[in-house]
Amino acid sequence: MRDRVTRAAKDLGYTPNAMARSLITRRSHMAGVLISNLTNLYYPEALSELSQSFSRHGVRLLLFTLPHERDVDQVVDQLWEYRVDGVIAAARLSNAQVALFERRHIPLVFFNRYLKDRPVNAVCCDQRGAAALIVSRLVAAGHRRYGIICGPNDSVVGEERVQGAIARLTELGVSTVKTVRGGYDYESGASGLHELVRTFKGAPDAVICANDVMALGCIDAAREDLKLSVPSQLSVVGFDGVAPGRWRSYGLTTLRQPVRRMAEAAVSMLLECVEEPGRPPERRVFTATLVEGRSARLGEPSIP
């Protein structure tokens, strides 16, 4: 009988009506994803992994993009219109905004960020631990003067990386540290290095960039504009492990986040929240992997 019905549906060109089915099941089988700053190459990769993971579970993804994390108010109201089953947020949300999700009983999972003063579902990478790891290796190689090119000031992830790096440098007795603000883009990596050189009145020993794209801009500015040899005269490191960093012209030393595993964990957590309303919040933390490229001189730290 099943085969006969399937053949008849195919002959008639029938396709199920997802909207009608949602009225019966009270599920839309759609999930919203909030992502800011798609110019950061990490997020298109994360979005691709989230989309594939949702598809394996038969869930369709609705994407809501934000120019900046602070612009989240512009799209939150749109979420209610689509009656999504749940939301993954790779953007900053306030306590008041999280409370809106709770009042509407819409499960929410944070991706690569969390709230310090409120228990929420979150999947993140240990940004501070990753920053401490790369700093320890740089200090062990003899670097003493550090420049840091930060991300936008509303980037939770970028601020954690910078704070982690500065904290570890302080622990290791390094006080010559200068910071400049960047925008996660190639141009601000280049201009950030020029600003650091002006501040130091010369090149620092190492530059820590809050993401890989800025690190690539920094490397090109060092080589092409300032005629500095990387890494013999200047070490440059980044975060994220994006594909261009692996190009032979860069060989970027960076910290690779386990994007696929994080995406699968976020989707799994969200679907569990949909199936089990009221389950207690959970945070799953992943560890970044150090990718030793050719853009930095690293040592083996003797200090734990």
* Three-state DSSP state, 180: strand
Q: How confident is the model at residue 37 (pLDDT cuts 50, 70, 90)?
A: low
Residue the block writes with tokens 């601020």: 159
* pTM: predicted TM-score of the whole model, two decimal places: 0.84
Is CATH 3.40.50.2300 correct for 2-125+258-287? yes
Inform me whether the pLDDT recorded for 152 exceeds 80: yes
Q: How far apart are CA 172 and CA 148, in angstroms?
A: 16
pLDDT, one tens digit per residue, over 194-212 is: 999 999 999 999 999 999 9
First to last CA, the chain: 68
Query: The tokens of 207 are what?
Result: 């530059």
Residue 9 is predicted with a pLDDT of 65
Q: Which of 55-69, 119-133, 219-233 shows the lowest mean pLDDT across its residues? A: 55-69
**Cβ-contact 35, 43 below 8 angstroms:** yes
Amino acid at 111: F
**Cβ-contact 84, 31 below 8 angstroms:** yes
**Cβ-contact 107, 32 below 8 angstroms:** no
Within this chain, domains 2-125+258-287 and 127-256 share the same CATH topology: yes
Q: How far apart are CA 177 and CA 170, in angstroms?
A: 9
Q: How far apart are CA 40 and CA 166, in angstroms?
A: 23
Q: Which CATH superfamily is domain 127-256 in?
A: Response regulator (3.40.50.2300)
Inform me whether the pLDDT recorded for 162 exceeds 60: yes
Name the residue ranges covered by the structural domains of the chain. 2-125+258-287, 127-256
At residue 69, φ and ψ (nearest 5 deg) are -60, -30
pLDDT, one tens digit per residue, over 47-80 is: 899 999 999 999 999 998 887 767 777 788 788 8
pLDDT, one tens digit per residue, over 76-93 is: 878 888 889 999 998 888
